[in-house]
Amino acid sequence: MDIDSLIGAVERRQDELLALLSDLVRFETPAPPARNTDAAQDHIEGLLKGLGFSTDRWELHPGDSNVVGTLKGSAPGSHRSLIVNGHVDVAEVHEDEPWETGPFDPFIRDGRIFGRGTSDMKGGIAGVLFALKLLREAGWAPKGDLFFEAVTGEEVGEPGTLECHEHGYKADYAVVVDTSDLVLQGQGGVITGWVTVRSKATHHDGTRAQMIHAGGGLKGASAIEKMMKIIAGLQELERHWAVTKSFPGMAPGSNTINPAVIEGGRHAAFVADECRLWITVHFLPDERHEDIVAEIEAHLAAVAAADPWLRENPPVFEWGGRSMIIDRGEIFPALNLDRGHAATQLLSATHQAVLAQSASFGISPSVSDGGWFGHVGIPAVVYGPGTLKEAHAVNESVEIAQLIDFTKVMLRFMVEWLDQPKS
């Protein structure tokens, strides 16, 4: 098998690659509303079977399923294995957005292909599937096991990728082909949480004067006003993190605590007896969300201990969740990219050899399913076509030349990694 000839075929047969991506874009899989990926997964499962993969499929929610294709290696015990991972759900679309055609009606212009998901991240999925098509046509069979994970739920914090691990899919390395502008990336993590301040007693609005003046005789407080102390405490911790924590390649203060949503009170005739704050916490690639949760709770416990009312009505916490749609919560673990790992070095060297330019390393300013691999101990990288500027944008697009470059790199990388014996 002549790898250089196959790499050349990517460019010669680019119309097939673009047709494959266009087919994927036409499946309307925005999340929210979600529950709409099964038709796309039918298509991907059919493509995988046509390439000689066995497939496994299960439902996450009605209308949404995961598909994992397995191409067994000829020497799986002695050679490297690989997971390629991508999500088929795409960013939500509003009816009043000014798309030139329609978000799911792809078109090509000025060296770009347009449509929802071209950049985030059906372009990456299409590139790998087309690379596999060329390889299988040439008679390639890997020595190590190859797993192709087409997952759902990434856009709304649902654990499609985590469920693949829970179903037993493991490998020596994983490539998440999400939007990275062909930069080899790790990422920080994100966890959302609800902080609730709740009074043990309920008071009429007419009693407020007895609460806020010395000698009023009523030991009470507004939960909304007490939440202001909680917010101030979170701001203090955020500033502390900015000067005491750092990570190479990330700007100081990238680890933030965002007070995103606040809810509280009953109506105007009551002193507010409950207030809930929804926060989004970004943490560094070398941190665990469990440790971040413990740090925030300890800090707010100290804030509460310094306030007479909060001492008796301390904040309570709900962290994470398995769906932004169902329980308004999510976790994206961090991914601390191991630049010294043999697969990372091989991918970097392949990028340079195929594209005649040095590979770049970075930290994604966003999050992806890549963190789940780090969380379960599988070394991984985020590497795919498209830019964050295009992801989620109206008239989303990806540069065709970059999509072709990505396909070439992944074609060679998969062959060389899966043919490597384990050391």
Residue 423: the pLDDT is 81
Cα distance between residue 157 and residue 321, in whole Å: 8
> What is the CATH number that goes with domain 189-319?
3.30.70.360
Paired strand residues for 146: 71, 82
Domain with CATH 3.30.70.360 in the chain: 189-319
Residue 232: the pLDDT is 98
Residue 218: the pLDDT is 81
Report mean pLDDT in 10-residue bins for the chain, 423 residues: 95 98 98 98 98 98 98 95 98 96 97 98 98 98 98 97 98 98 98 96 86 78 94 98 96 96 93 95 97 98 96 96 93 97 98 98 96 97 97 97 98 98 90
Distances from the Cα of 264 to the Cαs of 159, 315, 413, in angstroms?
30, 14, 53
Q: Which residues are catalytically annotated?
A: 89, 154
Residue 292: the pLDDT is 98
Residues 6+ apart with CB under 8 A from 6: 134, 135, 138, 411
Domain with CATH 3.40.630.10 in the chain: 3-188+335-418
Residue 237: the pLDDT is 98
Asked if the bond preceding 106 is cis, omega within 30° of 0, the reply is no
Residue 269: the pLDDT is 87
pTM metric for this prediction: 0.94
Residue 282: the pLDDT is 97
Cα distance between residue 208 and residue 78, in whole Å: 74
Residue 220: the pLDDT is 87
Residue 110: the pLDDT is 98
Residue 217: the pLDDT is 76
- CATH: 3.40.50.720, 3.40.50.11440, 3.40.50.2300, 3.40.630.10. Which one for 3-188+335-418? 3.40.630.10
Residue with tokens 């078109």: 107
